[in-house]
Each structure stands twice: as C-alpha cells, then as structure tokens.
C-alpha cells in the first residue's frame, strides 16, 4: 500500500480541535516515541512505541473493531517520495511496510549488533480522528510546534490516484480551518536537524524539549 500524506502548521489548536470534533470520529490520544536507525547512513528504519492517554474535555474514543487503547510497538520501513502537484502543493507518497509487535527489545538488540546506529529520535503527542478513509492527527512535535497530519492509503501511486487523494486531503484541511499556505513541505527529520543546529548546547536543547513537552501536557 502507498501512504499519501501532507502536514500543515497549526498556530491555534483550539479551533482546529473543535472543527475536527464536528465532523470526524475521535479515536483517542497517544504519546509516540520514534527511534530511527540507519546502516552506514542509509537504509533507514523506525521503531515506534505508542502509549495511549486520556484528554480531558474530549469525547470517549471510538476505536475500530478489534483495536484497544493499549501500548503498542511498530517497526516501519518506508520508500519515501515527494511529489509536487500542479498547484504547487507537496505530498509525501510513501511505499510503507509496517509490522506490529509486542516488545522492541529483540529488534533493538539485532539492529545494534548488526551495525545500525540511532540517527534520530522524535517525540509526538497526538490526538487522532478518522474521517472516511483519512487518518487525521493533531501532533505536538517538540521543539517544532503543532501540526495537522492527514494520511490516506492507496493501492496505486499513479498520477490520477494521487490527484484524487490529494483533493480529499485538501478538503479535510479546509474543514479543519487551515489554508494550503500552512502546508509544510519538509520532513520532520530535516526540521529537527535545523532546530538542532540553532541550539547552542545539548543542555539547552534538552531543556527546550522537556519544557515543551510539559507545556503541551498542561494544555491538553
């Protein structure tokens, strides 16, 4: 399956949450801890650990059949591609391979023993919704800020399919109260590296990250 995704900056969470609650199905909140591994700087993969939590003021999560709000682990490999549409909007079109497992300990040991190195860590505090076949996430990504991520899946990645899916994503973006000029074309990894360069010392960077996470919890 191909993952078709866009993300946009969010300056004010409250009206976006209110808009999403009005038309999309709320599915709960999770903390996502992403750890990216690379072999000699290439062939990147990701281990993700998800921990659900409750958000005061939000409705009871409506989970898909067979899904429960428990901690989960995922191993993901993506063949990434970015495409620019005729109107200049950048989309991620990724060939994603993902598996869920109970514990990451064995895989982490295997990657470490076979030359893979941790090249990036990312924390996301996520509120999730579903609308038709579109997965919606309002994400806080320290120290970058808040983003709305929209994702849908397709069996093909031809131009006609991508254009059709892009229109659906843009419609949801508009219903959430955001304009296309809020769309962010860069990968999170590139943005985090830029933010790291701005930080003067590792201590300041760590302090910034921890303070941001704490402030987001206070607002949720």
Burial state string for 23-35 with b = 16 or more CB within 10 A and e = fewer than 16 = ebbbbbbbbbbbb
Taking all residues of the chain, what is their mean pLDDT, rounded to a whole number?
89
Q: Is 37 left (phi over 0), alpha (psi -120 to 50) or beta?
A: beta
Residues above pLDDT 70, as percent of the chain: 89
pLDDT for position 182: 96
178 touches 10 (CB < 8 A)? yes
DSSP, collapsed to helix, strand or coil, labels residue 27 as strand
pLDDT for position 203: 52
More confident residue, 202 or 82: 82
Separation in Å, CA 183 to CA 5, 92, 133, 174, 179: 11, 12, 20, 11, 8
pLDDT for position 85: 80
Q: Which residues pair with 143 in a beta bridge?
A: none
**141-151 per-position pLDDT tens digit:** 999 999 999 99
137 touches 6 (CB < 8 A)? no
> Of 39, 94, 50, 42, nearest to 74 (Cα)?
50
- Return phi, psi of residue 66, to 5°: 90, -5
**Is 210 a residue whose pLDDT tops 60?**
no
Cis check for the bond before 111: say yes or no (omega within 30 of 0): no
In this prediction, residues 99-116 reach a mean pLDDT of: 95
Residue where the block lists tokens 């254009």: 163
């Amino acid at each position: 399956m191909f993952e078709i995704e866009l993300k946009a900056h969010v300056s004010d969470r409250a009206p976006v949450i209110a808009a999403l609650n009005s038309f999309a199905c709320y599915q709960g909140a999770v903390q996502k801890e992403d750890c990216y591994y690379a072999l000699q700087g290439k062939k990147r993969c990701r281990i993700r650990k998800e921990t659900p939590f409750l958000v005061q003021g939000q409705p009871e999560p409506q989970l898909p059949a067979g899904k429960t709000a428990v901690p989960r682990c995922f191993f993901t490999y993506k063949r990434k591609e970015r495409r620019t549409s005729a109107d200049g909007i950048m989309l991620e079109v990724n060939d994603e391979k993902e598996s869920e497992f109970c514990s990451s300990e064995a895989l982490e040991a295997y990657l470490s023993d076979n030359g893979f190195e941790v090249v990036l860590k990312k924390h996301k505090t996520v509120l999730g919704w579903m609308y038709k076949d579109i997965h919606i996430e309002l994400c806080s990504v320290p120290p970058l800020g808040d983003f709305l991520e929209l994702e849908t899946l397709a069996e093909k990645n031809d131009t006609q399919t991508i254009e059709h899916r892009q229109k659906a994503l843009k419609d949801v973006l508009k219903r959430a109260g955001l304009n296309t000029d809020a769309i962010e074309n860069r990968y999170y990894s590139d943005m985090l590296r830029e933010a790291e360069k701005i930080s003067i010392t590792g201590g300041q960077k760590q302090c910034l990250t921890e303070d941001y996470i704490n402030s987001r919890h206070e607002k949720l």
